[in-house]
Structure 1
Amino acid sequence: MDETTNFARQHFDVAIVGGGFAGTAAAINLARANRKVCLVDAGAPRNRNSEHMHGVIGLDAANPSALLARGHAEFVSYGGILIDGRVDALEQTSAGEWSVKLSSGEASTATQVLVATGITDVLPEVPGLREMWGTRVFHCPYCHGYEVNGTNLGVVGGKNPGFTTRIATLLTKWAASVTLHANGMNLSPEQRERLQQHGVTLVVDDVVQVSPATDDDHAVEITTGSGAIRYDACFTGPEFKPNDELLRTAGCTVADGWVQVDGGKTSEPGLWAVGNVVSSPDQVSQALGSGAAVAIAIDQHLFDQC
């Protein structure tokens, strides 16, 4: 839906950039606190390819996209304004407010801005991997480990050796067997020893392709130069790239590759951040909780400024 006509040249108590679970949870709580809130959503949440989510009490195995749509409707029911669009720039005005500019050219101001633009999973450059991302190829043992209890798993390596070797060892808690295809990763002696300790089989050949197995809705075939191996499911270790360009351009302090926050506050007055944009491991349940917590902090900050 196009709600930019409700956005242009308005002033909001809080503008929220990013309509995933953290941003939407914050938006609902702020709208219920009688704040004038807009939520700008580009429609590309991190888990949009996933069929199920887990770990949310009473909603285990629910479809995350369907749940998010319900959350957006709830936000609107409390008087919030949902914008289908993308924020291109955040600029602090001479009055100490924030100018929020959409890619459409529309602009408004807000006393406080919360950025919840999430993270991009940069997958190894292996044909077939991205096409099955979220359906047959996963990265989080705590999101999908239970569903692969007692199975034979293949793990495809890439540009994130530390994370990839970690999940390969963790997956042995659930799987009958785990095979790590190094796929060009340069593993340290300590990492190799750790894999061996946990019974992870290491294959050093590069992966040529990952394909869906035809005899099962979840199984895959991982093909190397030596041939194809069938697995009941596949995991991989992506590079995690926070979508933090807005925060960096606004001047926020960055350390160790991440924008720094204290209780959701960035180094820039009136600019907040929550969720995967500042914390890579968040699951849906964690995103919901952190979004609600930062919303309360923002509301009380506004209250104390009156």
Structure 2
Amino acid sequence: MRTVDIARRTVAGTVAVALGVAAGAAAPDRPAFAGGFAPVRVAEASDSDGSVTKIVTAACPGASSVFAAGARIVNGNGGVVLTAMEPDAELTSVTVTATARTGHVSAWSVVAYATCDLSTSPPVRATATVASTSTVEVSCPGSTRLFGTGFRTEGPVDQTYVDEVAFGPGLRTVRVHAGGTAEPASLTAVGVCKEPTQPTGPPGVRVEAASGHDGTWPKTVVTPDAGPNAHVYGVGARVTGEGNFFLSALVPSANLRQAGAEAVRASQLPGAAAARDDAEGDGEGSLTVSALESSVFH
């Protein structure tokens, strides 16, 4: 694992690449890459308006399968919560759901991302669901290895929201955690896994980048460029700190060379007392993004 602190990397071009919101199906012609075809990212965006709940689906083209998922809220400003970033059972599409919290009335939208690829060893989906608890973990079956992540949460978005979607040790598990002032009614972790066919380069590795730990929100973090011999598949992230913070974006870049994440501070609910940022560091936190990079494996 290589780690870099990019708290000061706020160059607009870098952030835009990782958190771009371009929508539309992938081009049907894909470039050959080291003995196979390069993966492609498909992005689909919802309308931008004041609807309470939005659902959007990104589908993989042709015979390709979902190997990883991503999601992003646009103009949520801490008032909109991601409630699902979920590859379907057949691994043909990714559906993202988001819901506005009480008092959020301005226009917003949500984007779903599907990282699509072909392999002689097709991916499989693993899921685990728990009720009335804040943490769930799912493991890849048999000898398969993790390539992508996903989650779904059920419960009141005013009180509970996802603040961690993480790769476990050995890149075999996905851990999802929900923060807030209440436990979710249910919480699901999703892993996209595949048999470890011979890659043309190094096997999958985790690459991380972290923000500074302070009271500035929202926070955006981008991993370094993967270089010409690897692509980003899974994206994970976690928020740490004393306060109500949650993930609002987990995004593979359009060229699948970087991973980006965004975390926001939950907006104040109508009638709620103002938060005290001077109480033992309350309001301070940090964001870490993880990219699961792999060489072409066909």
Higher normalized helix content (fraction of residues):
1
TM surpasses 0.5: no
Higher normalized strand content (fraction of residues):
2
Which has the higher Rg, Structure 1 or Structure 2? 1
TM bracket, shorter-chain basis: under 0.3
Normalised TM-score (structure 1): 0.26
